[in-house]
Amino acid sequence: MIKPNKFANKNFLSSLDFSTDEVFHILDLAKNFKNKDLNIDLKNKVLGLIFDKSSTRTRVSFQVAMSRLGGTTIDLNPTTSQIGRGEPIKDTARVLSRYCDVMAIRTFNHSDLEEYAKWSTKPVINALTDLEHPCQVLADFLTIQEEFLDFKDVVLTFIGDGNNVANSLILCGALLGVEVRIACPKGYEPNSLVIDKAYDIYKNKKLLKITNDPNTAVLGSNVLYTDVWTSMGEEKQKEEKDKVFNGFTIDSDLVSKADKDAIILHCLPAYRSKEITDEVIEGKKSKIFQQAENRMHAQQALLSCLLS
Ligand code: CP
Ligand code: NVA
């Protein structure tokens, strides 16, 4: 029976904190958790959650994942703890390391997460920053693997903003050797350091393409993926972005140009009729709710490795 391996890196701040083998191991474990073939006991282990931004899926899937493993969670609301009063990260990290066994943190600046991890003696998980959303893409690639069995000929096309989700799809896609295309308006490309890191990993550099044309990007694609045009913390740019992103909606016309067996993914929450239409979310090709469920299975796998 498969058992969780101890990983080289204690933290999961970026998709690149794990090796290709470690990502495949997480996906294998997650499948076993989903099929109820794996029973790992994390009794008395405590996961601390610090969320500086709103969350439904990430917060609840971590809470349920931990509960299924026999452990518990503490949801540290920044506004009612001293975190919101501005206690230095290095102090909070050293104190909470003495109470909790692992932390999941959602915040704005990626450097704040790195600062936390620097001072924490316990594993720290990125529950989303402005730069990356690595837990999300574990569930995404689990969903893709469930649908296509392997990643060999899969073309994943992300249409929309070159944001945290796009960055993590690029990095994890590079580790798994998946062809990733990003179609975004000019000026909204993914982080350039992320793109450079991905090109360093890909053996075949042609497998990563950044374009400004969604209609050609979707040709032959097996997975169409989108996310909100305006991420949390960017609310002031919403009006401008709604105009610039006109033409980047995943609607049935765009879906019809992709491979006939293409699936549709969205990390949620979605703005229907902005980045995706209601018809596409509710359509047969949509695997969006399977993808949301997979957050929990992937995070059970992640927690069992980081705490093994
Ligand atoms: N996809 C995702 O991270 O959702 P939440 O913001 O609800 O956690
Ligand atoms: N890009 C989105 C993802 C939400 C899960 C955001 O950061 O708001």
- Token pair belonging to 111: 């450097």
pTM: 0.98
Give the orientation angle of helix 57-68 with respect to helix 288-306, to 10 degrees: 50
Q: Which atom of ligand 2 is nearest to the CA of 136?
A: 5
Is the pLDDT at 78 greater than 90? The verdict is no
* 124-126 and 72-76 strand pairing: unpaired
Instruction: Select from 55, 135, 138, 169 the residue to mutate for testing ligand 1; criterion: most ligand atoms less than 8 Å from CB.
Output: 55
pLDDT, average across residues 10-32: 97
230-235, long-range: CB < 8 A, 24+ apart: 230/161, 231/130, 231/161, 231/163, 231/164, 232/53, 232/54, 233/53, 233/108, 233/130
Is the pLDDT at 1 greater than 90? The verdict is no
pLDDT in tens, 232-281: 999 999 999 999 999 999 999 999 999 999 999 999 999 999 999 999 99
pLDDT at position 80 is 87
Q: Which atom of ligand 2 is nearest to the CA of 53?
A: 8
Rounded Cα gap, residues 268 and 176, in angstroms: 23
Q: Which atom of ligand 1 is nearest to the CA of 135?
A: 3
pLDDT, average across residues 67-73: 97
Instruction: Select from 228, 234, 236, 238 the residue to mutate for testing ligand 2; criterion: most ligand atoms less than 8 Å from CB.
Output: 228
61 lines ligand 1 (CB under 6 A): no
Longest Cα separation, the chain = 54
Peptide bond before residue 269 is cis, with ω within 30 degrees of 0: yes
Q: Atom 2 (ligand 2): residue with closest C-alpha?
A: 231
63 lines ligand 1 (CB under 6 A): no
Q: Atom 3 (ligand 1): residue with closest C-alpha?
A: 58
How close is the Cα of 1 to the center of ligand 2, in Å? 36
Rounded Cα gap, residues 31 and 160, in angstroms: 29
How close is the Cα of 135 to the center of ligand 1, in Å? 10
pLDDT at position 236 is 98
Rounded Cα gap, residues 76 and 59, in angstroms: 11
Rounded Cα gap, residues 136 and 185, in angstroms: 23
In the chain, the domains with their CATH numbers are 15-132+295-306 (3.40.50.1370), 139-291 (3.40.50.1370)
pLDDT at position 308 is 86
pLDDT at position 223 is 98
**Burial of residue 58, with CB atoms counted within 10 A of its CB: 0-12 exposed, 13-18 middle, 19 or more buried:** buried
Instruction: Select from 106, 268, 299 the residue to mutate for testing ligand 1; criterion: most ligand atoms less than 8 Å from CB.
Output: 268
- Please, which residues have CB within 8 angstroms of residue 48's CB and are 6 or more apart in sequence? 73, 74, 76, 96, 99, 100, 102, 103, 104
Q: Atom 6 (ligand 1): residue with closest C-alpha?
A: 55
294 lines ligand 1 (CB under 6 A): no
User: Which residue carries 């992320």 as its tokens?
Assistant: 194
pLDDT in tens, 120-138: 999 999 999 999 999 999 9
* 102-106 and 124-126 strand pairing: parallel
Mean of per-residue pLDDT scores for the chain: 97
pLDDT at position 8 is 85
Q: Atom 4 (ligand 1): residue with closest C-alpha?
A: 57
pLDDT category, 95, cuts 50, 70, 90? very high
- Which residues are annotated as catalytic? 106, 133, 136, 227, 267, 295
pLDDT, average across residues 50-72: 98
Is the pLDDT at 198 greater than 90? The verdict is yes
pLDDT, average across residues 287-296: 98
Q: Sheet harboring 263-266: ordered strands across?
A: 208-211, 179-183, 155-159, 223-226, 263-266
- Token pair belonging to 7: 């990983």
